[in-house]
Amino acid sequence: MTVAIALLALLIQAAPSLSTPGSPPPPDPATSAFIGEAGLIMAAVKPTATADYEAVIRALNAALHTDTDPVRKAATKGWRVFKAATPDAKGNALYIHVFLPAVPEYDYRPSLLVDTLVKELAPDLLSPYQDSFAGPLSKLDLKELANMALAPIPPEVFSPPVVPPGNATPASPPAIKKPGGR
């Protein structure tokens, strides 16, 4: 038994570390960064806490309006927040944040931005804001399929032509014979 414990201790010490020195830390699972050209975040907020949530969004909107940081200005240029006219099935208020365009890899978490931009209000705002959520945020990275205000994009732009296996060139369509042998 003692030998088994000693061997286990040696194996644990000799096992490679999960993180290598100099490697970047793993991404924060709570991040609200996007990799696509557009993004959407949906927040379900407790019906009794909508005022707390909206106070943070309004304070953030005011702070971003006067902010001079070029990265934040670019990131928030296409950020709009909508409140659903009807609650979800559990009675929660739904807030939809639309980012069009989204700045890739920019973390859009309102709590981080409030903490950075609204320092004098942050402690009073953040605690009720964090308690206002009915569940985790839903985040979607979006890629545009069609813009209904513009002419349609031909299907071949979306998918390459089908090539037969073996790198053969596609066969020419068969000639259509007209009636009468001509």
Q: pLDDT tens for residues 18-33? A: 444 565 555 555 678 8
Give the count of beta carbons closer than 10 Å to the beta carbon of residue 97: 19
Contact by Cβ (8 Å): 11, 4: no
58-80: average pLDDT: 91
100-121: average pLDDT: 84
CATH architecture of 38-140: 2-Layer Sandwich (3.30)
pLDDT band at 5, cuts 50/70/90?
very low
- Residues paired with residue 141 on neighbouring β-strands, in sequence order: 39
Task: Name the percent of the chain in helix, strand, coil, to the closest 5.
Answer: 35, 15, 50
**Paired tokens of 21:** 């020195």
Cβ within 8 Å of residue 171, ≥6 positions away: 164
Contact by Cβ (8 Å): 143, 158: no
What does pLDDT average to over the chain? Answer: 79
